[in-house]
């Protein structure tokens, strides 16, 4: 799809829009053409959608507010660019790509500092090669009385025997290649196991453990110092744009600490009454509703997906049971084919989501392996709507919520 510039009626609106698009292009110059185009299109779609909303504000005011909320592209896109650069570097193994990726990620944790030092260590190997050329007698592998004494540069070369000669140079070149490949492969492995979800789980586990100690400790009083400690701990994650949400601490039946954290705080008027999306908790409801339909004889877990959605790839092989236990093989539409995180930050039509699901296809055949699938449960929810002839919200309200009031 081709990127299309939005045209505005007011000259000043057009100017700040063009400046903002140019700043996005400048911030994404390190990305591939495909990723760069997708970033531009995502930002552009946000601007376009906001400009279509009815508002009493002028065109310039609406555009200014939209750009302010989207944020400075250099700051907003830095995590994406850093991640994409690292992904590229660990695929190409190119020294320039690796250097650029490490510079962009240097603030993302001690591990990247360690990797930088490991790569710098390779520089000492290069230095030894040149040292061998200009001072061959003082550089090499040294022994004395058939015992190892030194490797590299030795100030006692006259007392030792250097046994490698100029074979030291190809040996060092071999070590450089082996260590370079090993460090880069280790960097790739570290990247694949360091997804943000790991940080979220660690954070949530720490919060649970922290509050567990507060709850179960005898005669524990949450002092102002303890409140400040909790606040600073959460602030660390907020400043690094790791999480957003709300933490509330009660003592003796009273709320003594209510912290709202995340990059959208300035948009929230009343944090205590704000409603949060509950995400995958709805999967529990989907599972319960399908179990209820099965008990009533309205569906079978062996039914094929093509009974309901024949245009979905591999639908003639995928069973409802596969979808319920995450073995369907359907790719995850929420990540928009492993692309950008902006895809679902604004509401999308059912047709747009279905188009994305069809476009992505499948990652493996049913029952080959287990892989968490939001796509499968989205389609299951749509099947529930077909069966009940109601929206998913109405099904929950009429089938689960009303029944729970009588328990």
Beta-bridged to residue 248, according to DSSP, are: 258
**Whether the Cβ atoms of residue 256 and residue 350 lie closer than 8 Å to each other:** no
Ranges of beta strands (E only) in 214-308 are 245-251, 254-261
- For 34, the token pair is 């495909």
**Terminal C-alpha separation, the chain:** 53
Q: Pick from 23, 20, 7: which is nearest to 59 by CA?
A: 7
Distance between CA 327 and CA 370 in Å, rounded? 5
- For 85, the token pair is 């650069």
Annotated domain spans of the chain: 11-71, 82-192, 211-274, 280-404
Distance between CA 262 and CA 278 in Å, rounded? 16
Distance between CA 236 and CA 259 in Å, rounded? 13
User: How many other CB atoms sit within 10 Å of the CB of residue 117?
Assistant: 9
User: How many other CB atoms sit within 10 Å of the CB of residue 114?
Assistant: 11
- Looking at residue 304, the DSSP 8-state letter turns out to be B
- Looking at residue 240, the DSSP 8-state letter turns out to be T
Q: Pick from 227, 222, 262: which is nearest to 246 by CA?
A: 262
**Whether the Cβ atoms of residue 287 and residue 324 lie closer than 8 Å to each other:** yes
Provide the Cα torsion 195, 101, 333, 310; round to 10°: -120
User: How many other CB atoms sit within 10 Å of the CB of residue 112?
Assistant: 20
Helix (H, G, I), strand (E, B) or coil at 30: coil
Q: Torsion-angle region of residue 342: left (phi > 0), alpha (psi -120 to 50) or beta?
A: alpha
User: What is the fold, at CATH topology level, of the domain defined by 280-404?
Assistant: Beta-lactamase (3.40.710)
Tell the residue number behind the tokens 């929810």, with chain if given.
Answer: 381
Segment (H or E) for 161: strand 161-162
DSSP codes, 332-349? -GGGTTT--TTTTSS---
* Predicted confidence pLDDT, tens digits, the chain (407 residues): 567 788 888 899 999 999 999 999 998 888 888 888 888 888 887 788 778 765 678 889 888 988 888 888 888 888 888 888 888 888 888 888 888 888 888 877 788 888 888 888 888 888 999 998 988 888 888 888 888 888 888 877 778 888 888 899 999 999 999 988 998 888 887 766 554 444 454 455 455 444 544 444 444 567 888 888 888 877 777 776 666 677 778 777 777 887 777 655 544 445 555 565 667 888 989 999 999 999 999 999 999 999 999 999 999 999 999 999 999 999 888 876 554 445 666 677 888 889 889 988 899 999 998 888 889 999 999 999 999 999 988 998 888 766 544 44
Tell the residue number behind the tokens 């250099």, with chain if given.
Answer: 74
**What's the pTM value of the predicted model, to 2 decimals?**
0.43
Distance between CA 119 and CA 188 in Å, rounded? 14
């Amino acid at each position: 799809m081709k990127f299309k510039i939005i045209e505005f009626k007011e000259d000043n609106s057009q100017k700040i829009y063009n400046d903002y698009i140019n700043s996005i292009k400048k911030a994404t110059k390190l990305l591939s053409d495909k990723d760069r185009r997708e970033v531009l299109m995502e930002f552009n779609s946000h601007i376009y959608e906001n400009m279509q909303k009815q508002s009493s504000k002028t065109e310039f005011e609406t555009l200014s507010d939209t750009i302010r909320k989207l944020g400075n592209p250099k700051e907003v896109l830095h995590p994406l660019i850093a991640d994409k650069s690292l992904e590229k570097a660990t695929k190409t193994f190119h020294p320039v790509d690796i250097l650029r990726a490490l510079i962009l990620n240097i603030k993302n944790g001690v591990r990247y500092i360690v990797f930088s030092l490991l790569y710098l260590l390779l520089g000492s190997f290069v230095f030894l090669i040149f040292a061998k050329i200009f001072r061959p007698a003082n550089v090499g592998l040294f022994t004395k009385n058939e015992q190892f004494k030194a490797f590299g540069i030795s100030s006692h070369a006259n007392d030792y025997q250097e046994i490698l000669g100029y074979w030291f140079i190809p040996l060092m070149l071999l070590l450089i290649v082996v260590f370079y490949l090993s460090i880069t492969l280790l960097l790739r492995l570290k990247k694949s196991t360091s997804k943000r979800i790991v940080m979220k789980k660690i954070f949530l586990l720490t919060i649970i453990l922290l509050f567990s100690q507060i709850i179960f400790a005898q005669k524990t009083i949450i002092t102002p110092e303890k409140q400040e400690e909790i606040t600073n701990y959460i602030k660390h994650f907020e400043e690094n744009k790791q999480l957003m949400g709300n933490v509330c601490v009660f003592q003796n039946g009273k709320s003594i600490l209510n912290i709202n954290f995340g990059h959208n705080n300035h948009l929230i008027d009343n944090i205590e009454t704000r409603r949060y999306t509950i995400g995958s908790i709805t999967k529990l409801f989907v599972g319960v509703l399908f179990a209820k339909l099965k008990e009533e004889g309205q569906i079978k877990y062996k039914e094929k997906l093509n009974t309901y959605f024949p245009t979905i790839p591999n639908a003639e092989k995928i069973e409802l049971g596969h979808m319920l236990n995450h073995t369907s093989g359907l790719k995850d539409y929420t990540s928009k084919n492993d692309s950008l995180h902006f895809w679902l930050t604004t509401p999308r039509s059912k047709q747009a989501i279905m188009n994305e699901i069809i476009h992505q296809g499948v990652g493996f055949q049913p029952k080959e392996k287990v892989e968490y699938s939001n796509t499968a449960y989205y389609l299951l929810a749509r099947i529930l709507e077909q069966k009940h002839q109601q929206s998913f919200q109405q099904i929950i309200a009429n089938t689960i919520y009303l029944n729970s009031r009588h328990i």
